[in-house]
Structure 1
Amino acid sequence: MPARYDVLRYSDGTHRAVPAGDGQGVVGAHRRESRRQQLTGSLTAGFLAMVVLVLVGGVVYDSFVTTLGVGIGLGAVAAILRAERWTHEGPELAVSDASERVVRDYVDEFDPDEVTDPFDAGD
């Protein structure tokens, strides 16, 4: 039986072939990593904004509670704005379970021997 492939399309227009059935896993792994980066960046932006506002507010205002409240509120706004600007740049599944002939239409200079398991740890 001839080999079958999934073709992934990246945002820069390039295509990559992976063994059939692995395409959805690769797309899912990219999305999970993107969400992790988004969450980490948003929390960092929010925390930094909160710390700066509390430190500056502590000098300007007499009330620490008011300063802390304003810092938390503006920190949350910073985190939300950071999350809203995030874009996912991972691949999309262009073709699923395709023959070598179909893959050649998508991947320039396609060599079936170069297709490896994307989840192989490379022991």
Structure 2
Amino acid sequence: MTTKDDFEARCPSFQAAIELVGRRWNGAILMAAQDGARRYSEFLAAVPGISERVLAQRLRELDAAQVLVREVQPTTPVQITYTMTERGKELALAVQPLIAWGERWLGRGSEQHDG
């Protein structure tokens, strides 16, 4: 049985994780990174419907959260790549069961209720 102390200790961490993954577009960006997207243009192509401004903002947020790491390549022209950190890889693994649940219970053609 979960005690009040257990709940209070876990709730902020759980809430922070859900907010990070649940922020609009972050899940799609995370999946694109897992599928090999590294450059801004690759993320833009992999996440249909996202605006350039929002993509730039979300990439900065995921970099700040240490889910992705932004690397500047000193080439001409300068190339910027984003790669998943260990934290990001672990987050992507943690999200897989949620994706499976969504496909089963919320995907097209699925039943929207138990029964």
TM-score, normalized by length of structure 1? 0.24
The structure with the larger Rg is 1
**TM-score normalised over the length of structure 2:** 0.25
